[in-house]
Amino acid sequence: MSARIEATGLAVGYGHRPIVEGLNFSLQPGELLVLIGTNGSGKSTLLKTLAGLVAAQGGSVNVLGAAPGTQHSLVGYLPQHPVSSHTLPLRVEDVVAMGRYAHLGLTRRARAQDHRIVQESMERTGAIAYKSRPLRDLSGGQQQRTHLAQVLARRADVLLLDEPTAGLDLVGRQAVAELVEQERARGVVVVMATHELSDADTADMVMLLAQRVVSQGPPASALNDAALRECFGFTQPH
């Protein structure tokens, strides 16, 4: 089976200053890679590189067999803390419908199938309960669910999620974990950045970052005491 994402000796960063170098990984359909690290460790930069928003500083990377940022309708990206302007007069269902824009392009009219996907995405995240409310009137958690519905509406083969559980309570975080599992079950590759060690429980691969790869592998081996102490200064309670 061919890899959906393949990185060899990848260096990511801004300008000409790499933040993390020597990244090597390969993800098959349905696999989950969880990126864990402190702020500034390179998690978001790696996700932006995979999304094509930031150019790779070195090495090679391909997403779905092409350069990052070239297959828009097949790659969904959830930015960290998406901006919800206080002035933005958009209802939740309008925001979720924006997830279909990569398929619709500039001029194609939305069809029944697009409306159905938007509806389903809102149902899956629970955003359907407040679909007619303006985004600006919602709590942080409700906004996050809306943005999650938007990225699901892309119906992508690769999902790049930057702290998708930020601002969510326990129930919300469990719901995100279930969504990720559902996406994996239909063959979607998920790369997720998080601060929560528990988000890595079901991952195929965990990468512990601290401006370098501290450890990498299945959760049980990657999240070892020495690596956690180096990364965060503490170990996981047993």
Partner 1 sequence: MGNFLFGPFTDNEFLRQSLYAGILVSAICAVAGTFVVLRGLAFAGDALAHGVVPGVAAALLFGFSGVLGAAIGAGVMMSGVSVVTRRYRLSGDTAIGLLFVGMLALGVIIQSRSSSFAGDLTNILFGELLGVSNSDLMWQFVALVAVCVVAWLCRRPFLLLSVDDGLTETSGFSVKKYHNIMLAMVALTVVASFQTVGTLLVLGLLIAPAATGALFARRIGIMMVVAAVVGIFSTYVGLLVSYHANVAAGASIVFCSVLVFTACAVVVEVQRWQAHRKDIHHDHDQPHVHGHVHVS
Interface residues toward partner 1, by CB under 8 A: 48, 51-53, 69, 72-73, 75-77, 79, 82-85, 87-91, 94-95, 98, 101-102, 104-107, 126, 134, 139-142, 167-172
Nearer to partner 1, 62 or 216 (CB): 62
- Closest separation between CB of residue 85 and partner 1, Å? 7
Nearer to partner 1, 18 or 99 (CB): 99
Nearer to partner 1, 37 or 76 (CB): 76
Nearer to partner 1, 22 or 141 (CB): 141
3-state secondary structure the chain: CCCCEEEEEEEEEECCEEEEEEEEEEECCCCEEEEEECCCCCHHHHHHHHHCCCCCCEEEEEECCECCCCCHHHEEEECCCCCCCCCCCCEHHHHHHHHHHHHHCCCCCCCHHHHHHHHHHHHHHCHHHHCCCEHHHCCHHHHHHHHHHHHHCCCCCEEEEECCCCCCCHHHHHHHHHHHHHHHHCCCEEEEEECCHHHHCCCCEEEEECCCEEEEECHHHHCCHHHHHHHHCCCCCC
- Closest separation between CB of residue 98 and partner 1, Å? 6
CA 50 to CA 69: how far, in whole Å?
7
- Closest separation between CB of residue 17 and partner 1, Å? 14
- Closest separation between CB of residue 77 and partner 1, Å? 4
Nearer to partner 1, 105 or 237 (CB): 105
Nearer to partner 1, 72 or 195 (CB): 72
- Closest separation between CB of residue 187 and partner 1, Å? 20
